[in-house]
Each structure stands twice: as C-alpha cells, then as structure tokens.
Amino acid sequence: MPTILRRLLLFGAPALVAAVNLTHPVIAPPVYAGVLHHLDWWLTLHTLNLVLFPLLGLAAYLLIMDLNGIAATLSKVAIAVFIPVYAGFDALMGIGTGLLVQLSRQLPPASIAVVAPVINAFYDSPLLYNIAAAGSIAWIIAMLAATVAFTAPERRRVVAIVAIISFPIGGWARQNLFLAADGVTITPAWWLVTAGMGLLMLAVGKPRVTAALLTLAGALFGALHVTPTGPLGAACFLVAGLYVEFVMRKGKPMTPRSI
C-alpha cells in the first residue's frame, strides 16, 4: 500500500471517528423522546459510523500489520472480530432505533403512546447490548495485545502481565462504576480506574507512550463511543499512531517478534 494512502487511513479514520462522535447525542433512557429530538442527525451520524467504525478497525490493523508473534496475531484477530460486530451493533441500535422513531411519526398520538415503550425496549434489548459488549471487548483486546506487541523484548512479559490484569479490572469498572444514577454522567471512580491503568502502562511500558496511549484507546473507546469517552479513545489511538509512524518506525518497516 502506498505510504500516503496508508497514513491517510491510519490517521484519518480515528480523527473522523473522534470528530463525528463529539456530536453524538447523549440520551438518557427512555430514549424515544431524545432520539426524536435529534432524529435527522441521529440517522446521519449512525450512517457515517457504519463506514467509520470499520475504517477505525482498518487503521488498527495498519498500525500493527508489520508486527509478528502471538500478541500481534491476537490483536489482528480481535480487530477482525471488532469490525463486523461493532459496526453491526451500531447499525442495529443506532440506525434501527432511528428508523423506528421515524416511522412512528406517521402514527396518531394514541398509537405513539403504545409504540414508544416498544422502541425503548428494542434500544435496551439485552441482545443488542451483548453484541455491543462483544465488539467493545474485541477492541480492548486488540489494543492491549497491540500494546504488548510494540513493547521492547526485555519488558514484554511484564507488560503482558499488566495487560492481562488490566483487562478484568477494566471490565469490572465498566460494569460497576461507569455511569451515575442519571444514566448519562460518568462517575469519577471510573475515570480514576481508567487513568490508573494508563499510568501503570506508562510506568512499565517501553516505549511508554504507545503503552499508555493504546491502553487508554482500548479502555475509553471500549467503554462507549459517544462523547467524551469515544472521541478521547480515538484521539489516544491517533496520537499512538503518529508516535509509531514518525518516532518508532522512522520510515522503516517494523518486524519485532512478540510473545
């Protein structure tokens, strides 16, 4: 692939994901009224994400495509899972909910009172949230495995251990600490746990920059793709990509082996 095209995808995809999802409406449940209020942009944004999320996965693959070893292979497999699963989830929950709300506008008020709870139930469906969780987990694994793959050999096992420990801690924090009672506000406790994982990788990683940024890219975007976590996660990935491309690679292909 030509260098210009590779860099356009590597840097452009996370930049666009961050920019578009900065404008993602943050809606507290029940969602019907909130989606109705933002309906035109809601449908447009999720149509854009149907393209942008696979491009983000492609950017992640381009970042590690020259790396070999178990960690690099695990990252590539996780990316291959992330792309269709996460795009499918966002299409079903985002475009699907938006289309249902759009169709409901043609109904008389009495019928909307019946339909709105059904749309809310669709949005909150355990099946959709399980698909979302699978896509998010794949993204987090991809970023943690990439962190290990980029690590210098003398630190690789330590970073791998930290990554393995961070994975369930991050999952527990997302499940138990993430949102406050209003269903919208992210709790300070979750921010502290996430920042702690990034700082720990900064302390043990080599290079420190990619270790911290890729870990945060996984934790932040994996938590939720809307603002603020989604754009912050995409931004962390973008900066990590810039560091790898212009500091670590320096125009030369990288072929380190990882555990």
* Per-residue pLDDT tens digits for 148-206: 999 999 999 999 999 999 999 999 999 999 999 888 899 999 999 999 999 999 999 99
Predicted local distance difference test score (pLDDT) of residue 22: 97
pLDDT greater than 60 at residue 26: yes
Average pLDDT over residues 132-154: 97
Q: In the prediction, which pLDDT does 109 show? A: 87
Residue 50, C-beta contacts closer than 8 angstroms, at least 6 positions apart: 87, 90, 91, 95
pLDDT for the residue 183? 83
Using the CB atoms, write b or e for 183-213: b if 16+ within 10 Å: eeebeeebbebbeebbebbeebbbbebbbbb
| Higher pLDDT among residues 190 and 28, named by residue | 190
Provide, rounded to the nearest whole percent, the portion of the chain with pLDDT above 70: 97
- Distances in Å between the Cα of 91 and the Cα atoms of 83, 84, 104, 138, 199 are 12, 10, 19, 17, 34
pLDDT beyond 70 at 215: yes
- Top pLDDT among 68 and 183 is at 68
**Is it the case that residue 103 has pLDDT exceeding 50?**
yes
To the nearest whole number, what is the mean pLDDT of the chain? 94
pLDDT of res. 252: 57
User: How many Å apart are CA 155 and CA 220, to the nearest integer?
Assistant: 24
Residue type, 93: M
pLDDT for res 182: 84
